[in-house]
Amino acid sequence: MENSKRSAAEKADFKRELTEVVPHLRAFARGLCGRPDMADDLVQETMLKAWAAQERFEPGTSMRAWTFVILRNAYLTDMRRNRFRGEYDEGVAERILTAPAGQEEPIHLSDMHRALLTLPPERREALLLVGAGGFSYEEAANICGCAVGTIKSRVGRARAALTSMLEDGDIPQRSIGDARAHRAILQELDDVAAGKGIATKV
């Protein structure tokens, strides 16, 4: 690594900003891969990659968007190696994803998370970025390396699917374990991966 080009102060700034986005990386990773332990492994991998690639980070731009690209690509790589199979730990999710007190009609966050995990990965990530992470369509398109219209379409389809599942209470328990669904997901992953370009223009 040619980190020597960066001054100590710049490296300190980078580290501070990286530290600040770690909770967001954990949230994004948890949404992507479901299992908290795997999600945290993914975040640690992302932090190491980001640190090693810090020369390519342009100070003043969004650290969150930049690191999300790295996390996303690490996730796709791991998915293709079959490390994550959308395994879902009911007990853990139930415990962690409890709705804050004061909710008028409590949303069953564990149901939502399970429904989220049944979505094809590219729709899931689009919805996570826009609907949960608060990124604009443009920012999400940059992170995913695709057109803004594509992101809008993916978010729309993801929302429609979630609405249908949550309102009908029809959330597949093990749809990702289903062989047919799994094949479809892998096929879609090929399409998603085709559009990836790590941190080249973020």
125 touching other proteins, by CB under 8 A: no
Choice between 38 and 47, CB closer to other proteins: 47
141 contacts 147 by C-beta, under 8 angstroms: yes
200 touching other proteins, by CB under 8 A: no
**Residue 36 burial by Cβ neighbours in a 10 Å radius (0-12, 13-18, 19+):** middle
Residue from 74, 126, 128, 146 in contact with other proteins (CB under 8 A): 128
Angle between helix 63-80 and 36-52 (nearest 10): 120
Residue from 80, 87, 94, 96 in contact with other proteins (CB under 8 A): 96
Q: Residue 168: count other Cβ atoms within 10 Å of its Cβ.
A: 8
Residue from 117, 139, 145, 202 in contact with other proteins (CB under 8 A): 139
Choice between 44 and 193, CB closer to other proteins: 44
At 185, list the tokens: 């997901």
Q: State how far the Cα of 93 lies from the Cα of 74, in Å rounded to an integer.
A: 23
Q: State how far the Cα of 102 lies from the Cα of 53, in Å rounded to an integer.
A: 43
Choice between 94 and 191, CB closer to other proteins: 94
Q: Which residues bind other proteins (CB under 8 A)?
A: 1, 3-4, 11, 15, 18-24, 26-28, 30-31, 40, 43-44, 47-48, 51-52, 62-64, 96-100, 107, 109, 112-113, 116, 127-128, 130-136, 139, 159, 162-163, 166
